[in-house]
A and B are shown apart, each in its own frame.
Chain A
Amino acid sequence: MSATLSVDRREFLKLGVAGTGGLLLGFYLPTRAGDAQAAAAAVKLNAWVHVGTDDVVTLFIHKAEMGQGTVTSLSMLLAEELECDWTKIRTEFPGVDRAFGPSQGVFGSQSIRSSWTPLRQAGAAARQMLIQAAAAKWGVDPSACRPERSVVVNTTTNARLTYGALAEAAGQLPVPAPPALKDPSRFTLIGTSAKRLDTPSKIDGTAAFGIDVRLPAMLHAVVSRCPVFGGKPATVNDTKAKLVPGVKRVVTISSGVAVVAENTWAAMEGRRALDIQWDEGPNASLSSASLTKLFADLAAQPGAEARRVGDAPAALASAAKKIEAVFEVPFLAHAPMEPLNCTADVKADSCDVWASTQGQSAARQVAARVTGLDPEKVNVHTLYMGGGFGRRTASDYIGEAVEISKAIGAPVKLTWSRIDDTQHDMYRPASYVRFAGGVDADGWPVAWTARIACPAFTGPRPGVDRAAVEGAADIAYGIPNILVEYHNPDARIPTHYWRSVGYSQNTFFTECFLDELAALGGKDPLEVRKRLLAGQPRMAAALALAAEKAGWGTALPAGRARGLSVVNNIGSFTAQVAEVSMANGAVRVHRVVCAVDCGYVVNPAIVRQQITSGVIYGLSAALKGAITINRGRVQEASFSDYDVIRMAEAPVVDVHIVPSTNPPGGIGEASVPGIAPAVANAVFALTGKRVRRLPIQTETLS
């Protein structure tokens, strides 16, 4: 896709980002890679490169950093073509604007995928303009000029001009047509494990997260919400709360009762002193048991068709051997380290919002709705996120802060406690799957049916929720007869995207049930996959590499076993082999070998970080994660009962990257889906017991 390049400053200045002199080059970045429709309609610029007279290069881009390394990788893409000192690139996340498209934010592991071509083109165009400016000054042909680390060198005279010295003149030149990009064989930065640019500020306490925002005269708030989803306050007695030192105001907002104070702790103490009678509403009798029954009853009935290949029921009827199995996973909280928070300053004619958010556009929309202001009057300031994992694509907490600021007429920082975060999350939906499968007389799978009952990720909607069936409806295995059906239960529990979305559960289901079919046919799990992935060379290659590096099939010490999985999500291909043992009734994962084909690799160190990160995140869910409901309430409260993997439990993750010249795939969510099935399959190899429910219940294994 070609970039739209321009030096039009008006659009840039409208966004309120500083633009003083120098070379300013705007370009268009799609929200999603391959979003051709958006590219065709791209009349507005939505990203800028600025070369200052002080040599500083600034990238204004509508992304955000939540640990995935975006700031670093994007700077590398730009610098590769701009030929600048890349460590001097500053990245600014400009305020949200309609110009950025309808869904500005970071999600779906899209940052590198959508920036890969346009960002390099912008760098190349800026470089060409700087060279042209130098050539004009020297009165030579541009071919006699060579760019080198923020300097243009006259190859005849060895004279040198810095980018800063050329920036003004270059800024007056017309923008060239999108220039040819470097052949990857000439890359000097892309493909290297360059150090992250955000590390220094993250080891000395200076990195500014959303929760670190401080404004003059800012107050602090917490909100008391009904423990039952959908409930409302019936009566509120705030007499004692108002007596707590530091408490300023108590205001009722749409989600509950807000206590506003001089500091966060006083607000929390004030909340503790509130006396609220809740109208718990219609959901007060919900329980995990009642939801499981709802799901199971639905899964007993035919559902909406999500995938059909051949005639699975007939193939099943005539299969040499068949097997049925039911799999289940619970609701999951996101549990980012930085509790949700938002600072809002609502005035008569403007609203400013400071937030660590993955969804800037959604933040603006909710602020405009709450204030009644035109969206153009809402400024969203993006800060570092202390983890996102999908939770921060929602904007419930932003709406709350805006409501409170509007009610009290002052800037306010709303902070969620850890307990708020656990009990009022928008959860990864629970899911229940009824599988049946059959093998032929030679033991190869010939029939596969799956009936899924899973609440839609983003609320009830008619038809098949693609997110709820991704990873199940699109299994890549060449099984001749497949039928996948879907039910959308009205669970009345808020749900939302969770790192790797539907794959987070469906890959567990499918990769475990495939192992069951392999065992039914008397086949090795690797052997079956190789055969069924004959038409999927990239998955097959990742699988082969992981198996080779893990020594699949070789002997292990007594008491250890391996399991494997492979998945294709977010445009990448990831295979894992987990090595486990059991001790004191607990599953211990010693080592995970992961092979990933994520296309062209911008920064291998960041790829390794993200693969390791995804494994640990997925392992927390596989071994420990469960949100349970009783009397309409979430039972878990904090890390004591919603525990996660700690240092001593973290396996060594051995990452192997499949060399590739394909365009980059995503990486932030690549390794989350495959860890649970790899571990579950290893547990079967070790114990002979199938794991069909997460988190793994060790008491059923002994």
Chain B
Amino acid sequence: MAFEFTLNGKRQTADVPGEMPLLWVLRDTLGLTGTKFGCGLAECGACTVHLDGRAVKSCSVSIANAAGKRVTTIEGLSADRSHPVQRAWMEEDVPQCGYCQSGQIMAAAALLARTPHPTDADIDQAMRGNICRCGTYDAIRRAIHRAASDERGSGPDRRKAGPDPVVRSELGVVEQQS
């Protein structure tokens, strides 16, 4: 049957079995391959996306459970790599192989939306489900702190490079939830 949801700010339908994981709907049915398959068991975080602003493992969310909700993937975080987390990732040159980084970035973005100035302990807690086999953890930690201080700033640079309107409203909802 057809399931309807909001994908990166646009209405989307997918005519697939209801138990099909969101991950595979995104990757195979819709062709959004930025979200990665790592384990299919919610143990590694490579498939992390936002569901109504919350970080979830898309391998373990069925399309039926995503129906009617807002899904944001790495492709929708910003149109031009301008999300503060992406900018911090660029500044710190975080990725190595890069495979886990979509999930790391989505987990970090959800953390910062909820907790704008996380402590190291907050970061450990929020990121514990995201594995990186290249061992970029320290760079990720630095980048999250950098993004947190970036969000504090409100200069013209921040406005110029801010998220597009769709994503901004997405973040707005997240901020209200926290």
Chain A interface (Cβ < 8 Å from any Cβ of B): 65-69, 195-196, 198-209, 211-212, 214, 220, 245-246, 262-265, 268, 335-339, 384-389, 415, 417-418, 605, 609, 612-617, 620, 638-640, 644-648, 650, 652-653
Contact = CB atoms under 8 A, between A and B. Distances in A.
A140 B150 CA distance: 52
Contacts of A638: 39, 41, 43
Given A264-B27, A339-B37, A647 B133 contact: no
Contact of A204 (B21, B86, B138): B86
A75 to B, nearest CB: 15
25 contacts: A66-B97, A198-B95, A202-B101, A203-B90, A204-B78, A209-B98, A211-B36, A214-B33, A263-B29, A264-B24, A264-B28, A339-B37, A415-B37, A418-B38, A418-B41, A418-B43, A613-B134, A613-B135, A613-B136, A615-B135, A639-B43, A646-B131, A647-B140, A650-B135, A652-B138
Given A200-B81, A207-B98, 9 more contacts: A67-B97, A198-B95, A203-B105, A206-B34, A208-B33, A264-B28, A616-B137, A648-B125, A650-B135
Nearest to A644: B131
Contacts of B78: 204
Given A205-B35, A205-B74, A337-B131, A418 B97 contact: no
Residue of A203, A245, A388, A648 with highest tally of chain B CB at under 10 A: A203
Contact of B124 (A211, A339, A648): A648
Question: 9 closest A-B pairs (Cβ-Cβ)?
Answer: A205-B34, A616-B135, A386-B99, A67-B97, A202-B98, A67-B96, A205-B74, A648-B124, A263-B28
Contacts of B113: none
Contact of A205 (B33, B39, B94): B33
B37 A205 contact: no
A195 B93 CA distance: 6
B5 interface: no
A5 to B, nearest CB: 33
A638 B38 CA distance: 10
Residue of B38, B75, B78 with highest tally of chain A CB at under 10 A: B38
Contacts, number: 180
Contacts of B90: 195, 199-200, 203
Contacts of A384: 97-98
B100 A337 contact: yes
A387 B128 contact: no
Contacts of B135: 612-617, 645, 650
A593 to B, nearest CB: 14
B66 interface: no
B86 A387 contact: no
Contacts of A69: 96
B177 to A, nearest CB: 24
Interface in B107-161: 123-125, 127-128, 130-141
Contacts of A206: 34
B138 A612 contact: yes
B37 A203 contact: no
B17 interface: yes
A211 B40 CA distance: 14
Which of the four size classes fits the interface of chain B?
Answer: 35 or more
B129 to A, nearest CB: 8
B84 to A, nearest CB: 12
Contacts of B46: 337
A283 B99 CA distance: 35
Interface in B11-27: 17, 20-21, 24, 27
B40 A417 contact: yes
B81 A337 contact: no
A647 B128 contact: yes
A337 B44 contact: yes
Contacts of B89: 199, 203
B81 A211 contact: no
Nearest to A68: B96
A338 B33 contact: no
A158 B99 CA distance: 47
Contacts of A205: 32-35, 73-75, 102
A69 B134 CA distance: 12
Contacts of A220: 28
Contact of B39 (A209, A388, A415, A418): A418
B34 to A, nearest CB: 2
A638 B131 CA distance: 12
Contacts of A645: 135, 137
A189 to B, nearest CB: 16
Nearest to B32: A205
B134 A263 contact: no
Interface in B39-69: 39-41, 43-44, 46
A334 to B, nearest CB: 9
B75 to A, nearest CB: 5
Given A264-B24, A617-B133, A337 B96 contact: no
Contact of B34 (A198, A200, A204, A246): A204
A211 B37 contact: yes
A196 B95 CA distance: 9
Nearest to B27: A264
A354 to B, nearest CB: 13
A613 B138 contact: no
A614 B135 CA distance: 8
Contacts of A262: 28
